[in-house]
A and B are shown apart, each in its own frame.
Chain A
Amino acid sequence: MLSKFVCTCLLVAVSLPVAAQSGPQDLEQAQKIADARAGLMKVVGAYFGPIYAMAQGYTDFDAETAERNAHKLRELADMAPDMFRTDTRKFEVKTEALDEVWEDYDHFVEDAEKMKKASAALESAASEGKDAVVAAFQKLGGTCKDCHDEYRLKK
């Protein structure tokens, strides 16, 4: 019966983010959520940077790095809908996320899906050489811009 108990606990833990959709209870909690999603975007930048560097000729083209980083970017794109789901609009958090994110969250998820597809395309372009990578990278960058234009604070 112990195993059943563990299973139940796990089930509860896994469903917690869903159950917590009632939202953060105070500013501190909301800020943690905002920091986490900003962190996700920073990690995206970290994996994006090396491909940018080789596309611009700062570094030599390296198919392996391109493929590996594109793969990570696809995984990060997969996390975006999780990390942005919690609505923090009620609190005065420090964030660059605009209210538009939660005004039509399904649309936000669709946009994240575009980043995922573009990352996957970049991953498979890696074996086709630099030109293919640069072209696919440009498309991936386009999904960044489309999303930022809509959902990110214009600093």
Chain B
Amino acid sequence: MSEQPRRLVWDLPVRLFHWTLTLSLAGSWITAESGIEWTQWHMYLGYLALGLILFRVLWGFVGTRHARFGQFLSSPVAAARYAATLPSRKATRYAGHNPLGGWMVVLLLALVGVQAGTGMFISDDIMYAGPYNGAVSGSLADRLSYIHHLNFKFLQAAVAIHVLAVLYYWLRKRVNLVGPMFSGRKDADGLAENDAITSIAWVRGLLVAAIVAAVVTALVLLAPPPAPPDFF
């Protein structure tokens, strides 16, 4: 088998973000369903997810080329035009996200952001509470809890569409999107030479990750102390 020329398109932070988020979502789901002894871990994984979302939003401005919102967000018209080509076996090659994939990134970031964000304010009405549960009224916490449960269904649906789309590209269009999310490299075929990025950007990534980790840690640790329980 001859060595196919390949081009680096996904920097290291994008790839690490992707798979860490995958693990944190799977872990959050499992720990939510596995009994109360896992609730504390559910909360830790939620902080991780919140940090990952903050990281990815920042990285959408300061990351490498194909990681940037400005690069992969297209107009609704362009997205619709691209959607019309979906049934075809032929795949238009994109160095980064295709126009629909770009919007899926935004959707997933928003859904996970809402999920992690609402989690900070709600309680299980038994013995665990997010760090900001005491900062909101009981009725607001109830409403946010409702959103947390409802939004999870939307998140499940979005993840299902995401995974099915990747499978569709693999089976029908013969495009492997999973491999590049590990290696960072796509087959050069159909890509221009200057589509490649020049660095995996791990130093910059580490810097942004450190800032985000500090912010999330501070958010959790500096939260106002929870209100004492109703009955003493």
Q: What residues make up the interface of A, taking CB atoms closer than 8 Å to B?
A: 45-50, 52-53, 55-56, 58-59, 137-138, 141-142, 144-146, 148-149, 154-155
Interchain CA distance A145-B143 in the complex, whole Å: 19
6 A-B pairs within 8 Å (CB atoms) are namely A49-B229, A53-B231, A138-B127, A141-B127, A142-B36, A145-B124
Given A138-B36, A154-B149, output 7 extra A-B contacts at Cβ < 8 Å. Answer: A49-B230, A52-B229, A53-B232, A58-B229, A58-B232, A145-B36, A148-B125
Interchain CA distance A155-B146 in the complex, whole Å: 4
Contact with A along B26-39 (1 / 0, CB 8 A): 00000001011101
Q: Is the CB of B142 within 8 A of A155?
A: yes
For B149, the chain A residues whose CB sits under 8 A away are 154
B126 at the interface (CB under 8 A from A): yes
Q: Is the CB of A155 within 8 A of B36?
A: no
Interchain CA distance A46-B229 in the complex, whole Å: 10
B64 at the interface (CB under 8 A from A): no
Q: Which of the four size classes fits the interface of chain B?
A: 10 to 19
Knowing A154-B145, A154-B146, A155-B146, the reply to whether A145 touches B35 (Cβ < 8 A) is yes
Q: Is the CB of A49 within 8 A of B146?
A: no
Which partner residue on chain B sits nearest A149 by CB separation? B33
For A144, the chain B residues whose CB sits under 8 A away are 36, 126
B179 at the interface (CB under 8 A from A): no
B228 at the interface (CB under 8 A from A): yes
Q: Is the CB of B231 within 8 A of A142?
A: no
Interface centre among A48, A53, A56, A141 (most CB of B within 10 A): A141
Give the top 9 A-B pairs by smallest Cβ distance, nearest first: A49-B231, A142-B36, A154-B149, A145-B36, A49-B229, A155-B142, A144-B126, A141-B127, A141-B126
Q: Is the CB of A53 within 8 A of B146?
A: no
Instruction: Select A58's contact among B39, B143, B228, beta carbons within 8 Å.
Output: B228
* Nearest CB of B to A145, in Å: 4
* Nearest CB of B to A112, in Å: 16
Knowing A52-B127, A141-B127, A145-B124, the reply to whether A45 touches B35 (Cβ < 8 A) is no
Q: Is the CB of A45 within 8 A of B124?
A: no
Q: Which residues, 140 to 158 on B, are CB-close (under 8 Å) to A?
A: 142-143, 145-146, 149
For A145, the chain B residues whose CB sits under 8 A away are 35-36, 39, 124, 126
Q: Is the CB of B35 within 8 A of A53?
A: no
Instruction: Select A45's contact among B33, B142, B145, B231, beta carbons within 8 Å.
Output: B231
Knowing A141-B36, A142-B37, A154-B146, the reply to whether A53 touches B125 (Cβ < 8 A) is no
Which partner residue on chain B sits nearest A53 by CB separation? B229
For B143, the chain A residues whose CB sits under 8 A away are 155
Instruction: Select B145's contact among A52, A55, A137, A155, beta carbons within 8 Å.
Output: A155
Which partner residue on chain A sits nearest B146 by CB separation? A155
* Nearest CB of A to B141, in Å: 9
Interchain CA distance A53-B227 in the complex, whole Å: 11
Interchain CA distance A69-B208 in the complex, whole Å: 50
Interchain CA distance A142-B231 in the complex, whole Å: 20
